[in-house]
Amino acid sequence: MEKPGRNRKAEIKIGLLGCGTIGSGVFHLAVKNKRAIEESAGRPVRVSKILVKDFDEPRPFPADESIMVTDPGGILEDPDIDIFVEVMGGIEPAKSFALRILNRGSNLVTANKDLIATFGPELIEAASKTGARFKFEASVGGGIPLIRPLEESLGGDNILKIMGIMNGTTNYILTRMSSEGITYEDALMEAQKLGYTESNPESDVAGTDAAHKTAILSSIAFKKGVTQDQVYREGIQSIRPEDLENARELGYSVKLLAITECDGGGIYARVHPTMIPLDHPLTSVSGNFNAVFVIGESVGELMFYGQGAGSLPTATAILGDVVNIAGELGTPLASNRDYWLRPADVRSIGDVMTKFYMVLKVVDRPGVLAKIAGVFGDNDVSLESVVQKGIGDSSEIVLITHVVRDENFRRAREGLENLEVVLEIPSVIRVEGETAASH
């Protein structure tokens, strides 16, 4: 048996900031997988202190109360801690704590997507100046390895486009609406009961959570700083069960997709409900699973799939970062990610080229279709398919356009809304991923 002594490398001490759903998962795995972690890290790893708001707060896994403190100073200023792990969530006090840690050159791992998506450049700059190790694999896609594969494994390729299901709540809702025909409201209630949603579920259904993750992946993939306010977003609140039925009949599924691509130096980053072909790999991703489809110039198509949230999946990503930092300690910093400080040329949604699905409720009388076709023609929007369904005195037109500039489609939509024969436009969904060429 190996004796502790000169050959044994010093233990890595973790200061855990927060011990709720994710923090208690980190503590649990650090104990349960101690041996595997030691083998990967090359030295023992132990949580030596935990900052909590309340000793008795509910947590899915028990943690050692004898190492819990409630005074932030007692842990943030502890010179024995090698790596801080921030799992409190939210902006403050997480941001102040993170800056305090990084500004003095201490190492930090965080799962905090809001913090990175909003203040990424400021935090990266602090880490870069002091040489602190700063990692945040768990901030996007929970347990799915994404940041390290994009940064390191694909570091020799040019990433062209990423399309991802990056929010489990909305994927669960759309899956249930599509497979069981239940309403949006009932599906949302189920997702809340299952604990998938953010504390404010509006952040899930309005696309905000996915937009934050899109900003982080865009920055990593395209080597420029993209912040969440630059990501266009539309939510799933107005998707109707009829749209999911129409989509299926037309050969598509509907997903809330995060899409980001780089073309001619411009970055097009957006989150919106999207129709994708039934045979697209992302169609098979159901329930609360996440998946990220990456297209690299040389590597081609890749897909990363798994649990994008939850205590243990997220904790594995955090411990992966800890292991990674442990292996780097004492070596010069390989990359300080200075590219994150270069502002990105993020283009407006109006410049995006895509197809559209649209439903129009119109009066049923001669000449109506001609008027509608005229508005599309006037705005350079060409139609790929048009289906008309009679419903009493009115009729519903379901159409799909060819690839158009978003701005042109928006103008056509405004023109249609002003036509007296158009009663309502209940649904508009972008269509993507049809051919290898258009991804």
> Known catalytic residues?
213
Closest CA to 228 of 214, 246, 244: 214
Stretch of 2-10, 167-175, 215-223, 320-328 contacting ligand HSE, by CB under 6 A: 167-175
Judged by CB under 6 A, the stretch of 21-29, 154-162, 163-171, 400-408 that binds ligand HSE is 163-171
Q: Round to whole Å and give the CA distance between 121 and 105.
A: 16
Determine if residue 241 is left, alpha or beta; phi over 0 gives left, psi from -120 to 50 gives alpha, anything else beta.
alpha
Q: Kindly tell me which of 306 and 426 has the beta carbon lying closer to ligand HSE.
A: 306
Kindly give the pairing relationship between strand 404-405 and strand 353-363: antiparallel
Q: Work out whether 204 is an interface residue with ligand HSE (CB under 6 A).
A: yes
Instruction: Single out the residue of 308, 313, 415, 433 in contact with ligand HSE (rule: CB under 6 A).
Output: 308
For residue 15, report the phi and psi dihedrals to the nearest 5 degrees. Answer: -105, 115
Q: What is the DSSP string of 215-227?
A: HHHHHHHHTSB--
Give the one residue of 190, 198, 328, 364 binding ligand HSE; rule: CB under 6 A.
198
Any idea which residue has 């233990």 for tokens?
A: 11
Task: Using DSSP, state whether 384 is helix, strand or coil.
Answer: strand
Q: How far is the CB of 113 from ligand HSE (least distance, A)?
A: 6
Say whether residue 246 binds ligand HSE (CB under 6 A): no
Closer to ligand HSE by CB, 230 or 311: give it.
Answer: 311
Bridge partners, 45 (sequence order): 12
Question: Are the beta carbons of 278 and 252 closer than 8 angstroms?
Answer: yes
Would you count residue 197 as binding ligand HSE (CB under 6 A)?
yes
Q: Is 309 in the site for ligand HSE (CB under 6 A)?
A: yes
Using CB under 6 A as the binding rule, whether residue 196 contacts ligand HSE is answered as yes
Residue 136 found at the interface with ligand HSE (CB under 6 A): no
Please report whether residue 289 would count as binding ligand HSE according to CB under 6 A. Answer: no
Q: For ligand HSE, which residue of 169, 274, 354, 408 counts as binding (CB under 6 A)?
A: 169
The DSSP H or E segment spanning 426 is strand 422-431
β-pairing verdict for 353-363 and 422-431? antiparallel
143 forms part of the interface with ligand HSE (CB under 6 A): no
209 binds ligand HSE (CB under 6 A): yes
Residues 173-192 that bind ligand HSE (CB under 6 A): none
167 forms part of the interface with ligand HSE (CB under 6 A): yes
Contact 316, 306 (CB under 8 A): no
Binding positions for ligand HSE, rule: CB under 6 A? 142, 167-169, 196-198, 204, 209, 308-309
